[in-house]
A and B are shown apart, each in its own frame.
Chain A
């Protein structure tokens, strides 16, 4: 199909789905209110222990219910709005909100999320063409498998077991979609699975020895499920993408080297792969570093504005983000020698 036709089709689908999602009130069981006017009832100032003051408003919205059996009824609801909006939300006329009797629950956000997803798909198609779309499809399939795994967990199957199986399925799907069926991909898959198992083993040993000492579980304590259950799978899945990336890069580079010089010795193969490994090590760590470490920013701001010192905060609250980054980086660095070894074993054997 022509590239332009596909693009126009994609834009058309996007416009239709955004319009549909904007008007999809009828598929929700909860009542949705469309705000027609907002008036401020009361204006006040609150302050915390450090004396930081901010404006607090008591407001009332008027709106029409757009779905369910009360459709068309006009309703007034009072709510509180704060300048910082740490836990409150700021509404404006035209917004749709979910309501539960006489409380506003939350904003209807699906339109914006779908809009952004569609923009993303169009952008990835323009830059990455069909391969871009393929990677979107593999992301979708992986997300569905992820969700199925969670449901199985709630049915009582051991989560670490599910996680290992899922990791294997994830890597097969992503790598096969990205590279097709060939020896390169096969050796990448074997490297990824081996690395995952070794990292799992390492994590279990480290956590048994240290007994999770120094890790603050505030963030996941609310789950009311055993922490060991969640932490290790979470770390494992978080590092999986990077491991796959390294696995496929190493195996393609090695197969490239063999293609260029069929008589290349194993020794010089190891030497060249080591050079390649050095280069990927630093860039991959950067990717993980920023995505993980920044996640703590809102909490840090809140804590410091409440008089917690920065050193105390890092010591007590930042630990889990750092753990995620460390495990991810260990995954990367560990996969380099493993995938080198396996790729050379598999790819060199066929050529001799």
Chain B
């Protein structure tokens, strides 16, 4: 079934645009291979948190510089992503450690019963890696959208002051924010469908669901994905504005 769907997807992408379609298709496959390699490294015992932070940087590097090209916009985005990753990895680690959502709920994931749980990897680290990997796509997307739109604003009106530029970056952010949170919400509602049916059949009350491991884990995942999109907005606006102003001053100096 997946192969049929894959062919349909490829055909549709080619219909939209042949060159872009092929490029996108290849980048998806490359991303998939990179992720699987990273997952494998985690599985053979390399520290999951370090692995995921490095992995996110590699993925952003590829998406930003190979797909979009190296320029002021992508460099600013890359810097902002590094800052967001540092802030989020610390807070995700703290929340996961506190709420202990690592691992599986035994009743829910029956197919883990065929495996031995003696694996000697701390699953709290695995959960942190999971959340980091899941939020990186949306975060890169938001960051690129803001830095390129901001640059466009500057190109159209070169007399804008630093403060005004930053403000327009934030304004662009508002629009993206609402649609991205919406996209993420439905991705997770789709997952919740099966989860809720299971909880319902197990006669869980809403209060019990609130405290269940899998549900809490999913909520943490969705909220951090959204938080990634939120905090990248001011950070990207600030860094892009700074670099644009720097560039502007340089140009003025050269003219003089």
Contacts and interface: CB of A to CB of B under 8 A. Distances in A.
A52 B189 contact: no
Interface stretch (B73-81, B102-110, B159-167, B243-251): B102-110
B182 A237 contact: no
Given A206-B1, A337-B15, A127 B186 contact: no
Contacts of A293: 32, 35
B181 A139 contact: yes
A120 interface: yes
Contacts of A54: 118-120
A338 B10 CA distance: 17
Contacts of B135: 290-291
Interface in B16-42: 16-17, 20-21, 23-24, 27-28, 31-32, 35-36, 39-40, 42
Main secondary structure of the interface of A (DSSP, over half): helix
Interface residues of B, number: 113
Interface string B42-72: 1110000000000000010001000100000
A28 B204 CA distance: 12
A278 B13 CA distance: 9
B173 A210 contact: no
Contacts of A85: 100, 102-103, 122-124
B32 to A, nearest CB: 7
Contact of B210 (A86, A113, A298): A113
A49 B115 CA distance: 10
Contacts of A296: 39
B153 interface: no
B88 to A, nearest CB: 12
Interface string A19-40: 0000000011110000000000
B197 to A, nearest CB: 6
B177 A135 contact: yes
B39 A82 contact: no
Contact of A47 (B13, B40, B118, B145): B118
Contacts of A87: 103-106, 112, 117
Given A223-B194, A291-B138, A117 B180 contact: no
A174 interface: yes
A300 B43 contact: yes
A150 B197 contact: yes
B157 interface: no
Interface stretch (A4-12, A239-247, A344-352): A239-247
A123 B118 contact: no
Interface size band for A: 35 or more
Residue with the highest number of chain B CB atoms closer than 10 Å, among A212, A219, A290: A290
A292 B187 CA distance: 8
Given A127-B230, A304-B44, 13 more contacts: A48-B119, A86-B103, A108-B211, A109-B211, A117-B219, A219-B109, A236-B190, A240-B190, A241-B186, A282-B24, A290-B137, A301-B123, A303-B115
Interface of A: 27-30, 46-49, 52-54, 56, 82-90, 98, 106-110, 112-113, 116-117, 119-120, 123-124, 127-129, 131-132, 134-135, 138-139, 142-143, 146-147, 150, 153-154, 170, 174, 178, 202, 206-207, 209-210, 212-215, 218-225, 230, 233-242, 244-245, 248-249, 274, 277-278, 281-306, 310, 314, 319, 322-324, 326-330, 333-334, 336-337
Interface of B: 1-6, 8-9, 12-13, 15-17, 20-21, 23-24, 27-28, 31-32, 35-36, 39-40, 42-44, 59, 63, 67, 95, 98-106, 108-112, 115-124, 126-127, 129-130, 133-138, 140-141, 144-145, 170, 173-174, 177-187, 189-194, 196-198, 200-201, 205, 207-208, 210-213, 216, 219-220, 223, 225-227, 230-231, 233-234
